[in-house]
Structure 1
Amino acid sequence: MLVKFKVFDKQLKIVREVKNIDYENSEILFYSDNNAEKKDRCSLDVFRGFDDVIFMMSTGLIDKDGAEIFEGDICYWEKSGFRGIFTVSFGTESLKWIADSNCKFNNLGDYKDYYLKIIGNVYEGSQLYQE
């Protein structure tokens, strides 16, 4: 299984997909903007040390729009007239991805048949992350 990461850059205050991880030098490489897939646009590479970013690991789940759900994402869910919002985190006691809120289910895998939509993350534009 391929493990994918995003990072929150503490300096630029942005979340970006990781292009490369250099474990030997404790550095990561990511694009400075979201135009990395567009061949006609130039995108600057950014190098950061591990201490300068917060890693966000993929859960392997996909939302209704086909976006991959990562640790730290805030998701809206709905099923059979019930709805709610949760934050995705990894439960160190249960060793499972969990929906961190007052929802009925704690195991994120229980939401795979629900309508899920990523509506943000806990880092960008949020008062939840304070340095």
Structure 2
Amino acid sequence: MKREIKFRAWDKENKKMAQVSRINFGPGGIRYLVDDSVLLEYTGLHDKNGREIYEGDVVKNEYGKVMEVQYDPRSAAFGVGDYYFGTIGSGKTLEVIGNIFENPELLEAQHE
């Protein structure tokens, strides 16, 4: 199975999400991107509405629980809460409702 690798980035200065069309790994190229932006990787999965799921997205499961999509380097997998995407139906039960940069209040409300 071919895995689609793509990114989007949160522009810290302009406070906007942008699709990344190319990455320059030349001298200073990636450093500029990382210093001024937060690079977010596509998980390769879609939510129940067909929306692409990216690292940093805020999702809601079928029980109404709101969680952040994170990458776990220890297991080299994306997941939400205590579940990795391989164990939660590959995103079919999740709905993307925002992201941690544009909608931080979604997670704050969950912790109150």
Instruction: Provide TM-score, normalisation by structure 1.
Output: 0.67
Does 2:58 match 1:74?
yes
Say whether the 8 Å CA contact 2:70–2:78 is kept in structure 1: yes
State the Cα distance separating 1:113 from its structure 2 match: 6.2
RMSD value over aligned CA atoms?
2.3
Give 3-state SS (helix, strand or coil) of 1:19's partner. Answer: coil
Instruction: Provide TM-score, normalisation by structure 2.
Output: 0.77
Structure of greater relative contact order (alpha carbons < 8 Å, 6+ residues apart): 2
Aligned to 2:110: none
Deviations along 1:16-55, whole A, 9 cap, x unmatched? 1112211114159xxxxxxxxxxxxxxxxxxx63310000
Which residue, 49, 72, 81 being the options, matches 1:65? 49
State the Cα distance separating 1:83 from its structure 2 match: 3.5
State the Cα distance separating 1:124 from its structure 2 match: 1.4
Question: What is the identity, as a one-letter code, of the residue corresponding to 1:67?
Answer: R
Distance of aligned partners of 1:7 and 1:113 in 2 relative to their CA distance in 1, 3 Å threshold: closer
State the Cα distance separating 1:115 from its structure 2 match: 2.3
Aligned to 1:94: 75
Aligned to 1:126: 104
Give unpaired runs (5+ residues) of structure 1: 29-47
Quick one: percent identity of the two aligned structures? 29
Deviations along 1:72-110, whole A, 9 cap, x unmatched? 0000111xxx3412110011222211213xxxx521222
Give unpaired runs (5+ residues) of structure 2: 108-112
Say whether the 8 Å CA contact 2:60–2:95 is kept in structure 1: yes
The structure with more radius of gyration? 1
Distance of aligned partners of 1:92 and 1:86 in 2 relative to their CA distance in 1, 3 Å threshold: same
State the Cα distance separating 1:12 from its structure 2 match: 0.7
Say whether the 8 Å CA contact 2:70–2:79 is kept in structure 1: yes
